[in-house]
């Protein structure tokens, strides 16, 4: 079979070859998501360094890297800058911005009043440069995000020397979070922050429009996403240390993660999802925050902190929102119920309850991994039709589906692409450079009879590629692995009505086993050979 370079996912079901066709969008989805990421792609001149950003906040950059690692050769210029400029305390700056932008950290005067976006300690400027670096002091999630970034960069580049150089830096960052009194609540043993909307960067005060420093009178609380992200980052640290042969550090992170999980579940899990905020300073915002579901619950689905039943409960809570409100995208609300008013925003405005495509992406991925594959497909198709009809993905929508803007489209495109790649196509890199992969093709859930998947890390050229066909009349799935790996574990989702599956390569039977995931069944072949074609027949 002739192959093409680069990354793509295509399906055989393309009823009309026009850009105006919206009803079966899966063959278009990868390209549409890539377009959203390219929209925010730019290069800054930081002295004599070229810094590529997507976007120029490291949080958005790392979240978007889930997608652009398959298309962008440069992954390190922006993270390298922030890793090298790490503050002596251990925290990281998160933003690069021109000095004309208040997010650069440089003070400015407006109507005779001096403003600075963060504390002086959190602002960094080198004389003679046109850009500054800034950390919004109230943010409590940058350090765990930097771990995720380092992990994905190592996977895509395979650069062990780069990893060895930067692992101590992210280790220092995590130590800062769990020891600095500004970040750590010793009574609960959890990370804290001022009262924001989920992971966002402003408070319910007029001052917070231009000032993101932490002040003594700011109401503090414990936000679940900071802590589930911290938990997941410690699992990644254990994996990286174990790869480098440091078993002692790996075990330490796993043990610390286990203790952290106990605290998270004790204080933040309400039986159906993670409560929005546990207040340390009580303020009545007009809602029951213990039963208020915020957007980072979708992320918690994919942070290895929830067991199977807990994941299903979170997904059920999102599905219940759509059933309650009956809108096409109501299961993607970013806060439910929203506050009556927060920082001047009414219910349904911005991150006070609007529709968020990045929630859709994480929710779809969680559904694919939790035996709700058809729901995962439904999410991707709904969002794909929306993008195709509008010609773009918006950052946020109102309840009628109108674009209300307010943030980076790249993040939304990347989360939807990630769900397509890791969920629908089922490509998971267990280490680096696709040497050890798990492939879980789920195209049968989409009714797709044919698909071709090729994902390449543009930074290194390492790739995974396979071809898939499903002949329902014959009761047969054909899978061709076109790329080479040290190990490939195949998990093939079977049709709902399939009998006992048998796999063969040529006339040689291939041993496999059945795996039950909810009501879904997978045929698992623990070692599928490269450049071979397997035929799965259903008795």
pLDDT tens column, 222-261: 999 999 999 999 999 999 999 999 999 999 999 999 999 9
- In the structure, what pLDDT confidence band is assigned to residue 327 with cuts at 50, 70 and 90? very high
- In the structure, what pLDDT confidence band is assigned to residue 17 with cuts at 50, 70 and 90? low
> Pairing between strand 487-493 and 520-525?
antiparallel
Distances (CA, A) of 75 to 9, 61, 313, 385, 451: 22, 9, 36, 30, 28
Q: Which residue from 57, 95, 50, 100 is spatially nearest to 73, judged by alpha carbons?
A: 50
- Give the per-residue pLDDT at 431: 98
The token pair at 220 is 């503090």
- Give the per-residue pLDDT at 23: 81
CB atoms < 10 A from the CB of 397, how many? 22
C-alpha 455/C-alpha 38 separation (Å) is: 17
Mapped onto helix, strand or coil, the DSSP state of residue 466 is: strand
Domains 8-424 and 436-538 in one fold: no
> Pairing between strand 487-493 and 436-439?
parallel
Residue 130 reports pLDDT greater than 90: yes
Residues in the chain: 539
Domain boundaries, the chain: 8-424, 436-538
Q: Classify 8-424 by CATH class.
A: mainly alpha
Q: Classify 436-538 by CATH class.
A: mainly beta
pLDDT tens column, 508-524: 999 999 999 999 999 99
- In the structure, what pLDDT confidence band is assigned to residue 483 with cuts at 50, 70 and 90? very high
C-alpha 156/C-alpha 158 separation (Å) is: 6
Q: List the Cα angle 294/295/298 in 5-degree steps.
A: 120
Average pLDDT across the chain, whole number: 96
- In the structure, what pLDDT confidence band is assigned to residue 22 with cuts at 50, 70 and 90? confident
Residues whose CB falls within 8 Å of the CB of residue 181, separated by 6 or more in sequence, listed in order = none
- Give the position of tokens 């000095």: 99
Alpha helices, DSSP H only, in 269-303?
296-300
The DSSP output letter for 409 is H
Residue 1 reports pLDDT greater than 80: no
pLDDT tens column, 172-186: 999 999 999 999 999
Percent of the chain with pLDDT over 70: 99
Q: Which of 100-104, 206-210, 404-408 has the lowest mean pLDDT?
A: 404-408
Percent of the chain with pLDDT over 90: 96
- Give the per-residue pLDDT at 445: 98
- Give the per-residue pLDDT at 19: 62
Q: Which of 4-18, 146-160, 357-371, 439-453 has the lowest mean pLDDT?
A: 4-18
């Amino acid at each position: 079979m002739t192959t093409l370079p680069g990354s793509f996912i295509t399906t055989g079901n393309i009823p009309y070859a026009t850009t105006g066709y919206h009803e079966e969008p899966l063959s278009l989805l990868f390209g549409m998501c890539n377009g959203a990421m390219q929209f925010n792609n730019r290069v800054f001149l930081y002295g004599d360094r070229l810094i590529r950003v997507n976007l120029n906040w490291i949080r958005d950059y790392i979240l978007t890297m889930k997608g652009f690692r398959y298309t962008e050769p440069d992954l390190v210029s922006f993270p390298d800058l922030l890793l090298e400029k790490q503050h002596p305390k251990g925290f990281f700056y998160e933003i690069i911005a021109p000095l004309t932008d208040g997010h650069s950290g440089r003070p400015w005067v407006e109507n005779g009043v001096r403003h600075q976006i963060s504390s002086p300690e959190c602002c960094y400027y080198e004389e003679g440069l046109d850009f500054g670096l800034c950390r919004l002091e109230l943010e409590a999630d940058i350090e765990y995000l930097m771990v995720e970034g380092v992990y994905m960069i190592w996977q895509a580049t395979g650069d062990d020397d780069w990893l060895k150089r930067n692992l101590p830096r992210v280790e220092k960052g995590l130590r800062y979070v769990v020891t600095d009194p500004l970040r750590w609540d010793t009574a609960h043993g959890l990370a804290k922050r001022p009262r924001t909307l989920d992971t966002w960067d402003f408070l319910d005060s007029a001052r917070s429009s231009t000032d993101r420093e932490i002040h003594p009178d700011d109401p503090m609380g414990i936000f679940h996403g900071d802590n589930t992200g911290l938990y997941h980052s410690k699992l990644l640290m254990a994996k990286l240390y174990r790869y480098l042969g440091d078993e002692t550090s790996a075990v330490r992170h796993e043990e610390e993660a286990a203790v952290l999980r106990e605290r998270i579940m004790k204080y933040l899990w309400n039986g159906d999802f993670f409560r929005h905020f546990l207040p340390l300073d009580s303020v009545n915002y007009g809602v029951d925050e213990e039963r208020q579901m915020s957007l980072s619950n979708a992320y918690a689905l994919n942070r290895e902190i929830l067991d199977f039943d807990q994941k299903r409960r979170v997904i059920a809570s999102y599905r219940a929102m759509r059933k309650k409100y009956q809108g096409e995208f109501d299961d993607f609300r970013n806060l439910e119920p929203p506050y009556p008013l927060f920082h001047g925003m009414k219910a349904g405005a911005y991150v006070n309850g609007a529709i968020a495509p990045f929630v859709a992406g994480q929710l779809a991925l969680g559904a694919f991994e939790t035996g709700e594959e058809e729901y995962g497909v439904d999410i991707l198709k709904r969002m794909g039709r929306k993008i195709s009809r509008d010609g773009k993905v918006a950052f946020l929508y109102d309840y009628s589906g109108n674009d209300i803007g307010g943030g980076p489209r790249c993040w939304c495109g990347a989360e939807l692409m990630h769900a397509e790649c890791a969920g629908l196509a089922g490509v998971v890199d267990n280490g680096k450079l696709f040497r050890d992969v798990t492939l879980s093709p789920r195209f049968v859930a989409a009714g797709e009879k044919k698909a071709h998947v090729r994902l390449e890390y543009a930074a290194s050229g390492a790739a995974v590629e396979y071809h898939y066909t499903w002949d329902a009349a014959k009761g047969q799935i054909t899978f061709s692995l076109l790329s080479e790996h040290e190990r490939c574990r195949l998990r093939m989702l079977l049709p709902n009505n399939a009998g006992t599956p048998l796999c063969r390569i040529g006339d040689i039977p291939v041993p496999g086993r059945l795996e039950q995931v909810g009501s879904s069944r997978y045929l698992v072949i623990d070692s599928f050979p490269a450049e071979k074609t397997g035929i799965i027949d259903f008795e």
